[in-house]
C-alpha cells in the first residue's frame, strides 16, 4: 500500500511555471487516466474504500423526511424507484470507469459531451459534493452541539476544517481511513435497529401503518414520485464511487470474478446500502414520533434518532458518547470523499477553461469554503426542496452518459466503444450528450417548479429520466455520430490495450514536462517528433502540441 512519491511534475507548455512541489501521487492523477503502475490496491481494498464513502447519515435524514412528508408506504415505493434507477444507470458507468481507469469527467467527455461540453456536467457534480458536504457537516455539528455543547456555527467550522488535512494525499490515505473505521461504524449503526426489532416488535406494525404528518396514508403515485425525486438527488453519488473505482487493478482471467464482484458491489451496488439506510432512518423516525415526548421535532435528525435508541439500551452518558462517535465517524468518512471528489471536479473544469493547472488543493479549499457558507445558511431546514431541485440536474447528466454508453456505444455503434478524453482527439462540443442533458434538465426543472401545470409537477424525475434516456440515441442517429471524434489516430503506433483488453502499461516520455506516462495518457505532438501527455495538452495555451483535425 505504500507508494513512493514520483519526481516533480509539470512544466506545461509556454514555459509556464507550476509549483515543483506538486506530485502526481499527491494529486492522485487528477486530470489523467490512472496508470497501472500506481494502481497497486487489490479489488477488495478498492471496493471497501469506495463503500466506506457511503457511510453518510444523510440517508437516515432523507428517509425520515420523505416518510414524514408522504407516509411509509409512499416513501418505501419511492425508495424502490430510486434503487432501480440508480442501479441500472450506475452499472455501465461503473464498469467503464473500472475497466478503463477513468473518472466520470473523462468518461463524460467521450460519451457524447465533447472536450469542453463536459465542463457543465463537472459543475453539476461539484455542486453535488458541496451540497452533501454541507448536509453531512450540519449533521456532525448537531452531534457536537448535543454531545459537547459546541455552538452550531462553531460546529460547522470544525466539521469543515478537520477534513482538509485528511484529503491532501488522496487515495493513499483515504483507503486506510475507510478500512480502519468501517467495522466500528457498522456496529454502531446496526445496534439500534436490531434492538428495536427484538425488544419492540410492535414497532414494525406501527412503521407500516404510519401515514405521514398529514395522516393521509395510502398509496399515491404523485407522492411516490415526489419521494423518489428527493432520493434521486443522490444519483451523482456514482461519480464519487468512480473516483475510487478508477484505481481498480487490471481485469485478468485470474482475478475476473473478484473484479466483477468488487465493481458491482462498490459501483451500482452502493444504492442497496443507501436504500437500507433510508428505510432504517424512516423506521427510527416513526418509532421516535410515537414513543418519545416531543420526538416529532427531532425525528428527522440522525443524531437524535440514534441517541434516543441508545438511551433505551445503556446509561445516558454512554448513549450520548456513542451517538456523537457514530456521527463524527460517519461524517468524516463521507466528507473526505465529498471534498476529494469536489476538488477533482473543480480542477478539471478550471484547467480546461483557463489552460492553467493550479493543483487540486486550491479547489479543495474552495469546495470546503462553499460548503461552510451553505451550513451557516442552515440548508438543513429546507433539505427536501434543495435535493428535489438538484435531482433533476443530476439525473439528466448521469442518465445521458449511461444512455450513450449502452445505446450509442454498445448497441448502435455510433459512438466509439473505447473511451477518449484527450484534447485534440475530441470535438469541443458534441450535441448528443450536451444537448440531451441540457434539454432533460431544463424541461424537468420547469416541471419541478410547476411551469407545465400542477398535474405533472410531481413527475419531474420521470421527465428527466425519460428525456435523458431517449434523446442521446435520437440525436446520435440524426447526426450520424460525426461529432464524437475529431481524430481517430493519435499518432502513436503502439497499441492502446493489452491482450486482455486492459489499457497498456507501456511508458512513454512527455517532451514538455519530461515525465514518463503510460500509453493511454499520451498522444503525438503536432510540432515535434515526440509525445505529449494529456495534462500538457490541456494546458497548451497556443495549441502548439495539439494535433489538427483529421480530414
Per-residue model confidence as pLDDT tens digits over 515-537 = 899 999 999 999 999 999 998 99
Per-residue pLDDT tens over the stretch 9-56: 333 333 333 332 345 444 567 678 899 988 888 999 888 888 876 777
- Residue 384: which pLDDT band, with cuts at 50, 70 and 90? low
Overall average pLDDT of the 546-550 stretch: 92
For 111, 482, 547, the CA distances from 551, given in Å and listed in that order, are 22, 12, 12
What band does 322 get if pLDDT is binned at 50, 70 and 90? confident
- 386-403 per-position pLDDT tens digit: 777 778 888 999 999 999
All cell numbers assigned to 325: 462517535
CA nearest neighbour of 368 among 517, 527, 167:
167
Could you report the per-residue pLDDT of 206-254, keeping only the tens digit for each?
889 998 877 666 788 888 988 998 888 888 889 889 988 999 999 999 9
pTM for the whole thing? 0.84
Instruction: Give, to the nearest 10 degrees, the angle between helix 171-199 and helix 43-52.
Output: 60
Percent of the chain with pLDDT over 70: 90
| Predicted pLDDT of residue 293 | 78
At the topology level, CATH places domain 41-398 in: Hydantoin permease (1.10.4160)
319 grid coordinates: 448513549
Q: pLDDT at position 339, please?
A: 82
- What pLDDT is attached to residue 19? 37
Query: C-alpha 506: how far from its chain's center?
Result: 30
Q: If you count them, how many residues does the chain have?
A: 551
Residue ranges per structural domain of the chain: 41-398
| Rounded average pLDDT over 374-397 | 76
Which pLDDT score is estimated for 129?
82
CA distance 536 to 357: 9
Pairs from 360-367 (Cβ < 8 Å, separation ≥ 24): 360/27, 360/28, 360/30, 360/170, 361/168, 364/164, 364/167, 364/168, 364/339, 364/340, 365/164, 367/126, 367/129, 367/130, 367/133, 367/338, 367/339, 367/342, 367/343
**Chain position carrying cell 412528508:** 69
User: Angle between the 316-354 and 302-313 helix axes, to the nearest 10 degrees?
Assistant: 160
Q: Does pLDDT of 497 surpass 80? A: yes
Report residue 380's pLDDT band, with 50, 70 and 90 as the boundaries: low
Amino acid at each position: 500500500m505504500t507508494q513512493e512519491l514520483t519526481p516533480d511534475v509539470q512544466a506545461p507548455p509556454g514555459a509556464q511555471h507550476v509549483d515543483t512541489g506538486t506530485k502526481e501521487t499527491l494529486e492522485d492523477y487528477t486530470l489523467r487516466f490512472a496508470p497501472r503502475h500506481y494502481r497497486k490496491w487489490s479489488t477488495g481494498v478498492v471496493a471497501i474504500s469506495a463503500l466506506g464513502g457511503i457511510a453518510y447519515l444523510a440517508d437516515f435524514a432523507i428517509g425520515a423526511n420523505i416518510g414524514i412528508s408522504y407516509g411509509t408506504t409512499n416513501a418505501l415505493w419511492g425508495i424502490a424507484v430510486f434503487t432501480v434507477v440508480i442501479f441500472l444507470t450506475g452499472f455501465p458507468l461503473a464498469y467503464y470507469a473500472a475497466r478503463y481507469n477513468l473518472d466520470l469527467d473523462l468518461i463524460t467527455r467521450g460519451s457524447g459531451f465533447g472536450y469542453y461540453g463536459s465542463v457543465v456536467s463537472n459543475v453539476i457534480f461539484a455542486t453535488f459534493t458541496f451540497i452533501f458536504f454541507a448536509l453531512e457537516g450540519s449533521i456532525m455539528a448537531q452531534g457536537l452541539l448535543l454531545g459537547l455543547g459546541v455552538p452550531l456555527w462553531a460546529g460547522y467550522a470544525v466539521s469543515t476544517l478537520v477534513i482538509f488535512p485528511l484529503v491532501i494525499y488522496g487515495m493513499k490515505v483515504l483507503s486506510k481511513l475507510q478500512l480502519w473505521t468501517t467495522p466500528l461504524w457498522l456496529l454502531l449503526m446496526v445496534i439500534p435497529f436490531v434492538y428495536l426489532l427484538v425488544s419492540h416488535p410492535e414497532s414494525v406494525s406501527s412503521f407500516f401503518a404510519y401515514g405521514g404528518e398529514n395522516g393521509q396514508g395510502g398509496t399515491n403515485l404523485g407522492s411516490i414520485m415526489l419521494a423518489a425525486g428527493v432520493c434521486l438527488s443522490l444519483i451523482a453519488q456514482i461519480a464519487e464511487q468512480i473516483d475510487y473505482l478508477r484505481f481498480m487493478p487490471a481485469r485478468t482471467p485470474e482475478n475476473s470474478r473478484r473484479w466483477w464482484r468488487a465493481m458491482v458491489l462498490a459501483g451500482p451496488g452502493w444504492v442497496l446500502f443507501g436504500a437500507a439506510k433510508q428505510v432504517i432512518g424512516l423506521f427510527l423516525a416513526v418509532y421516535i414520533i410515537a414513543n418519545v415526548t416531543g420526538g416529532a421535532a427531532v425525528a428527522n435528525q440522525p443524531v437524535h434518532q440514534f441517541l434516543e435508541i441508545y438511551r433505551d439500551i445503556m446509561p445516558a452518558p454512554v448513549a450520548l458518547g456513542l451517538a456523537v462517535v457514530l456521527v463524527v465517524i460517519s461524517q468524516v468518512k463521507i466528507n473526505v470523499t465529498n471534498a476529494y471528489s469536489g476538488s477533482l471536479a473543480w480542477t478539471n473544469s478550471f484547467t480546461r477553461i483557463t489552460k492553467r493547472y493550479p493543483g487540486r488543493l486550491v479547489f479543495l479549499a474552495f469546495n470546503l469554503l462553499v460548503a461552510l457558507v451553505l451550513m451557516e445558511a442552515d440548508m438543513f431546514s429546507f433539505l427536501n426542496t434543495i435535493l428535489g431541485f438538484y435531482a433533476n440536474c443530476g439525473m439528466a447528466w448521469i442518465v445521458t452518459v449511461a444512455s450513450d454508453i449502452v445505446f450509442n456505444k454498445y448497441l448502435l455503434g455510433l459512438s466509439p466503444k473505447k473511451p477518449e478524453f484527450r484534447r485534440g482527439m475530441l470535438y469541443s462540443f458534441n450535441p448528443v450528450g450536451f444537448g440531451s442533458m441540457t434539454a432533460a434538465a431544463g424541461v424537468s426543472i420547469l416541471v419541478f417548479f410547476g411551469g407545465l401545470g400542477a398535474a405533472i409537477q410531481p413527475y419531474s424525475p420521470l421527465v428527466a429520466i425519460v428525456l435523458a434516456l431517449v434523446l442521446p440515441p435520437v440525436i446520435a442517429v440524426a447526426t450520424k455520430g460525426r461529432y464524437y471524434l475529431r481524430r481517430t489516430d493519435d499518432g502513436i503506433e503502439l497499441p492502446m490495450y493489452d491482450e486482455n483488453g486492459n489499457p497498456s502499461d507501456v511508458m512513454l516520455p512527455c517532451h514538455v514536462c519530461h515525465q514518463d506516462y503510460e500509453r493511454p495518457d499520451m498522444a503525438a505532438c503536432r510540432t515535434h517528433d515526440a509525445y505529449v501527455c494529456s495534462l500538457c495538452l490541456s494546458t497548451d495555451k497556443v495549441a502548439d502540441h495539439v494535433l489538427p483535425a483529421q480530414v
